[in-house]
Amino acid sequence: MFRKIPHLSRREFEIAQLLKKGTTVSEIAGSLGRKVSSISTSKARMFKKLNISSLVELKEALETYKDVNRLYSR
C-alpha cells in the first residue's frame, strides 16, 4: 500500500540524513553552525510529520521512501 510522504523542508531532510548516519544532534549543530536547540526542534518537527518516535523508525522511514532523497534534495 502506498503511503503519502509528508513534506520535509530541505533542512529537515538534511538533518534526517545526518541522523540516519549516526551523527548526534550536537555534532549536527556544530557542523551546520546552529544551536543544539534548533536542531532538536527540527528533529521533533520531523518526527511529528513522519509520525515516528525513534531514530530506528526514522531510518526505516527513509529506507521505505528511497525516492525522498531525489524529491527533496533538489
**Average pLDDT for residues 46-53, to the nearest whole number?**
91
Taking only the tens place, the pLDDT of each residue in 6-15 is 678 888 889 9
Residue 5 located in a structural domain = no
CATH for 26: 1.10.10.10
Q: What is the model's pLDDT at position 1?
A: 34
Q: Is 35 within a domain? A: yes
pTM of the model: 0.77
In the structure, what pLDDT confidence band is assigned to residue 64 with cuts at 50, 70 and 90?
Answer: confident
User: Is the residue at 49 inside a domain?
Assistant: yes
Q: CB-based burial of residue 34 (10 Å sphere; 0-12 exposed, 13-18 middle, 19+ buried)?
A: middle
Overall number of domains in the chain: 1
Domain span holding position 30:
10-72
Please determine, for residue 73, whether its predicted confidence score (pLDDT) is greater than 70.
no
